[in-house]
Amino acid sequence: MSGDEVLLRVTISGPPGSGTSTLVSKIVESRGWSSVNGGDVFRDEANLRGISVEELSAQAKNDVEVDRALDSLLRKVMSSDDSPEVVESRLSGWWAHRDSLDCVRVWLMVSELERARRIQKREGGDLEGCLIRSQQRQMDDKERYMSLYSIDLDDMSPYSLVIDADQKSEKEVFEIVDSELQG
């Protein structure tokens, strides 16, 4: 490498409960790659501001510049010559597409009910409550991304690989992505 190539190999995106974090862990472990999680960027920013994630989230609802600044930071990381090989965030595939970054762009598709089941398993609570909160978050995110960036979360055109992960195991999802990364 001459030092100016972007290392980014794959973006992993999907709604909460779709298995993106699990997939990233498997890719990083199997290939020895590094990764950045958009949620971690958000948590780091909250820590820098000395506030909770919930407080930063509330600020983001009232101040679009919070999202814009964090998304700009993530885009900068993705296109730098020392970027990680794997970037996980809801919009990382869109950013890679819009910025013409040469990488595999994965979207994990999972039904609302299955996402709620996974969230319940991870966080506890009753299934109906998890489903309602998951649906509300998805609706809020759709509105926010459309308003901020004219991004329709239902539009899969930026993704080079869309996986319906409802009936697939973690291993099956990983094998699909791993095969794509070898090709």
* Nearest of 69, 30, 35 to residue 49 by alpha carbon: 69
pTM of the predicted structure, to 2 decimals: 0.87
Residue type, 81: D
CB atoms inside a 10 Å sphere around CB 57: 14
What is the token pair recorded at 63? Answer: 């101040």
Cβ atoms of 70 and 45 within 8 Å: the answer is: yes
Task: Output the CATH code of domain 10-110+158-168.
Answer: 3.40.50.300
Tokens of 65: 């510049």
- Return d(Cα 96, Cα 36) in angstroms, integer: 14
Query: What is the total residue count of the chain?
Result: 183
User: What is the separation, in whole angstroms, between the first and last Cα of the chain?
Assistant: 20
Tokens of 123: 């966080």
Q: pLDDT tens, 84-133? A: 999 999 999 999 999 999 999 999 999 999 989 988 988 888 999 889 88
Assign 6 a pLDDT band (cuts: 50, 70, 90). Answer: low
Is pLDDT of 14 > 90? yes
Per-residue 3-state assignment (H helix, E strand, C coil) for 66-115: HHHHHHHHHHHHHHCCCCCCEEECCCHHHHHHHCCCCCEEEEEECCHHHH
Question: Are 60 and 12 within 8 A, CB to CB?
Answer: no
pLDDT band of 1, cuts 50, 70, 90: very low
Q: What is the mean pLDDT of residues 68-91?
A: 93
Q: Which helix H or strand E contains 163, and what residues bound it?
A: strand 161-164
Which pLDDT score, from 0 to 100, does residue 159 have?
98
Tell me the pLDDT band of 2, cut-offs 50, 70 and 90: very low
* Cα 27 from Cα 51, distance rounded (Å): 32
Report the DSSP beta bridge partners of residue 163. 108
pLDDT at position 5 is: 60
Q: What would the mean pLDDT of 64-80 be, rounded to a whole number?
A: 91
Nearest Cα residue to 102 out of 32, 37, 5:
5
124-164 pLDDT, tens digit per residue, is: 889 998 898 888 888 888 888 999 999 999 999 999 999 99
DSSP symbol at 5: S
